[in-house]
């Protein structure tokens, strides 16, 4: 009778066997997962691709009124340093009057307002834009001009006229300090 | 559990799952099969594991920069060192299980009728594994591997007639920029062929295994525990090798990148290829090497006919003793082929001679004697 009483509260051979059963299956599952995880993890980006995807660019050397081109994720990215006049001209433009409404603060990072970082591809006909160098043709807004379909962008990368209807895309990036930005 | 007439979702859309479950629960297996009968199953599990890890390696491996790309995998790919070690050590484990399965097959005479077809298929798997193992070794791009490939390709160029044409087709001329890419393709194809051989051997085994009329048991639950224990032991040895001896059984000179101007004093192979390389060096000349390797594997294929005893005969003491001597002989052959001392070449001759003597003379003689 004592045996039966123990069985009733879960101390018998049967419940012990079930516990071992569950324990074994659980341990086996953990082991199988631990073997399979490296195979899955290895197919993620390797260290080189990872570093290229989180590229750090030094922007301290960019002169005012010019832009540098870097390749990130296979795209040409323009990093432009604005002049005081270009900021003044574009700071208070009413967003509603633009083809693709966007305010000044939408296009620059707070604290680093003189830098504009955009993907340098025309949003109409996919074509690399001109205007990084002060001697390039830049159009009436002193920004960028598309040599293929004539779309005109202002220095903040907002479309002003032309077949293109969208502003230039802004890649994902953060300022690490005054001199460095990190993509990704 | 449920009394609903409506079939379950898996039954209507994934019927193979219920087929599989009823297959596992069907009482078709003999009671109390020996633990070591699991060895061929462990080879299959190992081959599937090698396929998975090999597919991951193939994503990053570049035959044009073989050695550097493996360094890249080891250093720059997340968990790449582990996946690379999985593949390298996994090959050792598969061959360990395959050699043990082979020894057990000899011990219990697993090649006798009606299992001759199963034996032939398993030997085909073994042969394909050895070729895939050698090609995988050459893919490492180390000094030993590259010189092994160079010698093989040069030998193929010296052959004439049909063997020469096949050799030139296989290696594509002397070892150069185009050789390792085709070795990679052959390695992948051989992996698929091994999987096909496993399927063929399984179906051959099912075709000849008699369904025990009384006292038969199902795989689940009667054998699941046994298989789980065997796999755990297998995985434990594997884990120890992966984490404590990742280069187990590999010639250490293979950790140096290949240099066409530095020739190794003696070609060394991974442990699982060493006995066969010993057989290949028994006879002089290129054809001597081919005869040694092909003959060494051929006698295994011919075993069902070399054994002169009847189907119901149980192995005798002398045969079992000779089988154990053969196991030691193959171990000695592998050791002698991997040592650089002068004694090695003499011992290779002795052990290689005994290998062929065992299969071609002693096996027919002793089985015929004991069958009387």
Which residues in chain A are closer than 8 Å to B86, comparing Cβ atoms?
Answer: 35, 38-39
Contact B39, B101 (CB under 8 A): yes
Tell me how far CA of residue A160 lies from CA of A86, A101, B123, B271, in angstroms: 15, 10, 75, 72
Structure tokens at B40: 């061929």
Check residue B207 and report its DSSP letter: H
For chain B, the average pLDDT equals: 91
Residue of B nearest to A32 (CA): B235
For position B335, what pLDDT does the model report? 95
Contact B56 A41 (CB under 8 A): no
* Closest C-alpha among B117, B270, B141 to residue B208: B117
- Which residues of B touch chain A, with CB atoms under 8 Å apart? 52-53, 56, 59-60, 72, 75-80, 82-83, 86, 228, 235
Place of tokens 């993620």: A44
For position B5, what pLDDT does the model report? 67
- Strand A67-72: give its sheet, edge to edge: A67-72, A75-81, A115-119
Q: At what angle do helices B80-107 and B39-60 cross, to 10 degrees?
A: 150
pLDDT, average across residues B59-82:
95
**Is A27 an interface residue toward B (CB < 8 Å)?**
no
Parallel/antiparallel/unpaired status of strands A75-81 and A115-119: antiparallel
Side-chain half-sphere CA neighbours of A52 within 13 A = 12
Contact A39 B75 (CB under 8 A): no
Which residues in chain A are closer than 8 Å to B56, comparing Cβ atoms?
Answer: 39, 42-43
Residue ranges covered by each domain of chain B: 269-372
Which residues in chain A are closer than 8 Å to B79, comparing Cβ atoms?
Answer: 37-38, 41-42
Neighbours of B139 (CB within 10 A): 22
Superfamily of domain A51-183: Rieske [2Fe-2S] iron-sulphur domain (2.102.10.10)
Contact A39 B228 (CB under 8 A): no
Residue ranges covered by each domain of chain A: 1-44, 51-183
Which residues in chain B are closer than 8 Å to A38, comparing Cβ atoms?
Answer: 79, 82-83, 86
Which residues in chain A are closer than 8 Å to B75, comparing Cβ atoms?
Answer: 47
Residue B142 has pLDDT above 60, yes or no: yes
pLDDT, average across residues B211-236:
86
Check residue A130 and report its DSSP letter: B
Q: From the CA of A23, how many Å to the nearest CA of chain B?
A: 13
Check residue A169 and report its DSSP letter: P
Task: Tell me which residue in B59, B75, B83 faces A38 most closely, judged by beta carbons.
Answer: B83
Q: How far apart are CA B23 and CA A178, in angstroms?
A: 68
Instruction: Give the pLDDT band (50/70/90) at residue B278.
Output: very high
Q: List the pLDDT tens digit at each of the 184 positions of chain A.
A: 445 544 555 567 888 889 998 998 899 999 999 999 999 999 999 999 999 999 999 999 898 889 999 999 999 999 999 999 998 888 888 888 888 888 888 899 988 988 999 999 999 888 899 989 888 888 888 899 999 988 999 999 999 988 988 999 999 999 999 889 999 8
Q: Which residues pair with A153 in a beta bridge?
A: A144, A159
Which residues in chain A are closer than 8 Å to B235, comparing Cβ atoms?
Answer: 31, 35
Contact B76 A24 (CB under 8 A): no
Which residues in chain A are closer than 8 Å to B228, comparing Cβ atoms?
Answer: 24, 28
For position B213, what pLDDT does the model report? 64
Chosen for mutation from B74, B77, B81 (greatest number of chain A CBs closer than 10 Å) is B77
Q: How far apart are the first and last CA of chain B?
A: 59
Q: From the CA of B256, how many Å to the nearest CA of chain A?
A: 24
Residue of A nearest to B87 (CA): A39
Q: How far apart are CA B140 and CA B129, in angstroms?
A: 17
pLDDT, average across residues B210-239:
86
pLDDT in tens, B327-355: 999 999 999 999 888 888 899 999 999 99
Alpha helices in chain B (DSSP H): 9-13, 15-25, 39-60, 66-76, 80-107, 116-139, 143-158, 161-171, 179-208, 219-222, 224-244, 274-280, 285-301, 303-306, 317-338, 342-357, 363-371
* Residue B34: alpha-carbon gap to chain centroid: 22
* Closest C-alpha among A40, A170, A181, A58 to residue A111: A181
Residue of A nearest to B221 (CA): A21
This model of the complex carries an ipTM of: 0.84
pLDDT, average across residues B213-220:
81
**Is A41 an interface residue toward B (CB < 8 Å)?**
yes
For position B356, what pLDDT does the model report? 97
Determine phi and psi for B29, rounding to 5 degrees.
-100, 150
Check residue B176 and report its DSSP letter: S
**What pTM does this model have?**
0.88
Question: How many percent of chain B have pLDDT more than 90?
Answer: 70
Contact B78 A41 (CB under 8 A): yes
Q: Which residues pair with A145 in a beta bridge?
A: A130, A152
Task: Tell me which residue in B52, B76, B235 faces A48 most closely, judged by beta carbons.
Answer: B76
Contact B61, B75 (CB under 8 A): no
């Amino acid at each position: 009778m004592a045996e039966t009483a123990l069985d009733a509260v879960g101390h018998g051979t049967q419940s012990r066997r079930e516990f071992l059963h569950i324990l074994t299956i659980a341990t086996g599952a953990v082991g199988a997962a631990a073997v399979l995880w490296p195979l899955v993890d290895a197919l993620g980006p390797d260290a080189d691709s990872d570093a290229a995807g989180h590229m750090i660019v030094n922007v301290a050397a960019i002169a005012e009124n010019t832009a540098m081109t870097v390749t990130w994720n296979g795209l040409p990215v323009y990093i432009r340093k604005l002049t005081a006049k270009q900021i003044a001209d574009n700071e208070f433009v009413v967003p509603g009057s633009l083809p693709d409404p966007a305010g000044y603060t939408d296009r620059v990072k707070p604290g680093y307002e003189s830098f504009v970082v955009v993907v340098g591809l025309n949003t109409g006909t996919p074509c690399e834009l001109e205007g990084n160098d002060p001697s390039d043709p830049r159009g009436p807004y002193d920004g960028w001009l598309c040599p293929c379909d004539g779309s005109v962008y202002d220095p903040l990368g907002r479309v002003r006229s032309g077949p293109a209807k969208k502003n230039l895309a802004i890649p994902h990036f953060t300022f690490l300090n005054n001199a460095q930005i990190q993509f990704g | 559990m449920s009394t609903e007439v409506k079939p379950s979702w898996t039954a209507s859309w994934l019927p193979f799952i219920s087929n599989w479950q009823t297959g596992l629960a069907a009482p078709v297996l003999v009671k109390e099969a020996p633990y070591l009968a699991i060895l061929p199953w462990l080879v299959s599990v190992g081959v599937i594991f090698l396929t998975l890890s090999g597919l991951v390696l193939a994503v990053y491996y570049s035959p044009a920069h073989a050695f550097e790309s493996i360094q890249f995998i080891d250093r720059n790919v997340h968990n790449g060192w582990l996946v690379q070690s999985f593949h390298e050590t996994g090959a050792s484990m598969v061959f360990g299980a395959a050699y043990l399965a082979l020894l057990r097959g000899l011990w219990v005479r697993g090649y006798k009728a009606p299992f001759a077809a199963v034996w032939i298929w398993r030997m085909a798997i073994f042969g394909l594994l050895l070729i895939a193992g050698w090609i995988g070794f050459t893919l490492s791009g180390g000094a030993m591997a590259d010189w092994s490939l160079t010698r093989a390709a040069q030998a193929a160029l010296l052959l004439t007639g049909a063997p020469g044409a096949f050799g030139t087709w296989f290696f594509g001329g002397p070892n150069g920029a185009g050789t390792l890419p085709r070795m990679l393709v052959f390695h992948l194809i051989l992996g698929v062929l091994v999987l096909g051989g496993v399927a063929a051997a399984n179906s051959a085994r099912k075709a000849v295994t008699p369904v025990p009329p009384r006292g038969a048991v199902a795989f689940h639950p009667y054998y699941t525990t046994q298989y789980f224990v065997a796999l755990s032991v297998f995985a434990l040895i594997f884990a120890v090798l992966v984490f404590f001896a990742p280069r187990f059984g590999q010639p250490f000179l293979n950790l140096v990148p290949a240099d066409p101007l530095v020739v190794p004093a003696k070609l060394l192979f991974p442990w699982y290829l060493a006995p066969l390389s010993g057989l290949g060096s028994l006879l002089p000349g290129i054809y001597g090497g081919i005869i040694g390797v092909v003959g060494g594997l051929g006698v295994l294929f011919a075993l069902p006919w070399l054994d002169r005893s009847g189907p119901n005969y149980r192995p005798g003491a002398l045969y079992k003793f000779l089988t154990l001597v053969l196991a030691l002989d193959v171990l000695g052959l592998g050791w002698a082929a991997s040592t650089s001392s002068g004694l090695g070449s003499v011992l290779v001759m002795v052990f290689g001679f005994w290998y062929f003597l065992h299969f071609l003379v002693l096996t027919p003689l002793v089985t015929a004697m004991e069958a009387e």
